[in-house]
Structure 1
Amino acid sequence: MNQRRNTVLFIASSLDGYIATKDESLEWLFKVEGEGDNGFAEFYETVDTLLMGKRTYDWVMKQDFEEFPYKNKECYVFTRSSYEDTENVKFVKDDVNNFMNKLKNKDGNNIWVVGGGELLNSFMQKDLVDEFIITIAPTIIGNGIPLFKEGNRQLDLSLKGTKKFNQFIELHYEVKK
């Protein structure tokens, strides 16, 4: 019997719980002194599938990457509109629950919920996130795009571990089932 794949949120947050400023800037994040890649490469090796919302995808595409940064992984972008799939991305309009049940039952490694807040909210409402890896930056933004939306359902978590990357602290939780 195959082991079911985990869906993992891996994201950075300000100390006051924001993933970006109101204008979607991450400048505050890059001002913090980390250590290496703050555990990204190690985490990235554990996943073979990425999920992101359309706004996060649009933000990634505006960056100055020479090529798509997730070329070697399956990448799905959730959207309410119809788009043509590309060489690197499949756009998903399907019901989140049905799509995830099919995806989680396929053979493979873990599934990374890249972001953003809207996608995470819909996943949390349907109990589709198995683990949270949140790297906290020692920055208070004051307002912006929140990591967790008001009205999310309550989830009970169990701490799997912590890591320190210079000024960043990584908190790794699994959802109690």
Structure 2
Amino acid sequence: MRNQRKIVLFIAQSLDGYIATKEDSLDWLFKVEGEGDNGYSEFLETIDTILLGKRTYDWIMKHEKGLFPYQNKGCYVFSRSTIGDKDHVTFVNEDIVHFTTSLKNEDGKNIWIVGGGDLLHTFLKEKLVDELILTVAPTIIGDGIPLFKAGHYQLDLSLKGARSFNQFIELHYTVKK
């Protein structure tokens, strides 16, 4: 029997728990001295599917000057409105739980939930996330877009591992089910 695919969050955050400033800036992140690509290439080898929200997709397209960086992966963008598919991207406007459960049951590698905060909040509330790989930058930005939104949900985690990439610390958790 094959193993079911996992939904994995792989993301960087400030020490005070933000993934971006209120202006959607990541400048604070790029000021921190890392080591190589901080485990990013290694992680990419474990996934073949990417999930992201429309706002995150728009941010990526703006900052990558229209060149989608995940062309060799299956990519699904969740949107509240109906949008026609684009090169390398399928837009999804359906029940997140049903869609994701169906996706997890397909053959393949793990699935990366890239972001953003609203989409992640829904995934956490619905207990769809299996693992969290959080890379913590030694920066306090004081205000911004939180990684974890307030709400009525709780996840119990188990530490799978920790490692450092120069000034960054990576914490790898599995979600207790």
| Shared fold (TM-score, shorter chain, > 0.5) | yes
Question: Alpha-carbon deviation of 1:152?
Answer: 4.7
Question: Alpha-carbon deviation of 1:48?
Answer: 0.2
Q: Is the 8 A contact 1:79 1:91 kept in 2?
A: yes
Which residue matches 2:60?
60
Q: Is the 8 A contact 1:124 1:152 kept in 2?
A: no
- Aligned 1:18-167 pairs, distance under 5 A: 18-65=18-65, 67-167=67-167
Please give the alpha-carbon distance, in whole angstroms, between the structure 1 residues aligned to 2:141 and 2:14: 7
Determine what percentage of the aligned residue pairs are the same residue: 66
Q: Is the 8 A contact 2:12 2:135 kept in 1?
A: yes
Deviation readout 1:32-54 (Å, 9 max, x if unpaired)? 00000000000000000000001
Of 62-71 and 86-95, more deviation after overlay is shown by 62-71
Is 1:171 the counterpart of 2:175? The answer is: no
Aligned residues: 177
Question: Alpha-carbon deviation of 1:13?
Answer: 0.2
Question: Alpha-carbon deviation of 1:64?
Answer: 3.4
Distance 1:128 1:20, change over 3 A: same
- Give the aligned residue type for 1:26: L
Q: TM-score under structure 1 normalisation? A: 0.98
* Poorly superposed stretches of 4+, deviation over 6 Å: none
Please give the alpha-carbon distance, in whole angstroms, between the structure 2 residues aligned to 1:138 and 1:17: 11
Q: Is the 8 A contact 1:157 1:174 kept in 2?
A: yes
Q: TM-score under structure 2 normalisation? A: 0.98
Please give the alpha-carbon distance, in whole angstroms, between the structure 1 residues aligned to 2:160 and 2:57: 29
List runs of 5+ in structure 1 lacking aligned partners: none
- Give the aligned residue type for 1:55: R
Q: Is the 8 A contact 1:46 1:109 kept in 2?
A: yes
Question: Alpha-carbon deviation of 1:25?
Answer: 0.3
Q: Is the 8 A contact 1:117 1:147 kept in 2?
A: yes
